[in-house]
Amino acid sequence: MNTKKFHLAGETALLLVLLINSLAVDLMSKSGFGISTISSVPLIFSTAFPFLTFGTWNYIFQTLLVITLMILKRFFCPGYLFSFIVGIGFGKMLDVHNAWLQTLPNALPLNAVYFVAGFALMCFGICLANNCMLPIIPTDTFPRDLSEILSQKYKVIKTTFDLTCLTTTVVLSLTILHRFYGIGFGTVFCAFVTGKGVSLVQKFFDKHVEFYRVTGRKHVVVGRNVRHA
């Protein structure tokens, strides 16, 4: 039986990504269960080498990811440059959400709700980013495009990427700071489960949502180059 799909513009999806993913990161930070896996790397660098700010280390980290993708693809991709503009918008929304989330109460049951809500929003937001057909934040672009380059399932690449970030954070924490920093149960949980969570959301999108472009190439349905199943 054919199911009528909901049509969503990629431009709208990208705006939702900026709102949802930033809220997800702040909710998980609010929970106190550990910073998100990807954010843990620039956090450790900014703590170990404070001559550069956390934001600056974020951009350095994102730049290295984009350079790695271009090396693997063996050509310069202008679209990646727009990813940094999206990253700036993402950073601004982090500040906006953090301001109002500070007014919410803290208690163990509420913190658990914050974490679960943040994780669910993060999986949903990453999936929107993967399908919007527009340049997205480099940390989201990297696993998406790498899965296409290597012809591997997205959930495998995403989990491997998250575990690599987690391992880097642990090694730097112990060798430079001589203690664990910014790592909690939530960080480890995200490293192992985020890829699977995004894959489950993608299956729902495949059945019920059709993405298209309003600008640029008109009404182009997202390809199935990225393997999620």
Domain presence at residue 220: no
List pLDDT tens digits, range 122-149. Answer: 999 989 988 988 877 788 788 888 888 8
Q: CA 149, CA 69: separation in Å to the nearest integer? A: 9
* Residue 55 confidence class, pLDDT cut points 50, 70, 90: low
Report d(CA 38, CA 129) in Å as an integer. Answer: 16
**Distant-in-sequence, close-in-space partners of 18: CB < 8 Å, separation ≥ 6:** 86, 89, 90, 93
In which domain, by residue range, is 73 found?
6-212
Quick one: pLDDT band at residue 120, thresholds 50, 70, 90?
very high
Specify if 223 maps to a domain: no
Q: Where are the alpha helices (DSSP H) in 102-137?
A: 108-131
**pLDDT value for 195:** 81
Q: What is the pTM of this model?
A: 0.75
Confidence of residue 217 (pLDDT cuts 50, 70, 90): low
The pLDDT of residue 124: 94
Total domains in the chain come to 1
**Cβ within 8 Å of residue 223, ≥6 positions away:** none
Residue range 71-105, pLDDT digits in tens = 888 777 777 777 777 877 777 787 888 889 889 99
Residue 224 in any domain: the answer is no
Here the contacts of 34-37 (C-beta below 8 Å, separation 24 or greater) are 34/182, 34/183, 34/184, 34/185, 34/186, 34/187, 34/188, 35/182, 35/183, 35/184, 35/186, 35/187, 36/122, 36/186, 36/187, 36/190, 37/162, 37/165, 37/166, 37/169, 37/187, 37/190, 37/191, 37/194
Q: Is residue 137 part of a domain?
A: yes
Q: What Rg do the C-alpha atoms of the chain give, in angstroms? A: 18
Residue 1 counted as domain residue? no
Residue matched to tokens 């949802």: 20
Residue type, 6: F
CA angle 14, 19, 127 (to 5 degrees): 50
Position 227 in a domain: no
Please give the structure tokens belonging to residue 43: 């956090």
Q: Is 218 inside a domain boundary?
A: no
What pLDDT is stored for residue 3 in this prediction? 65
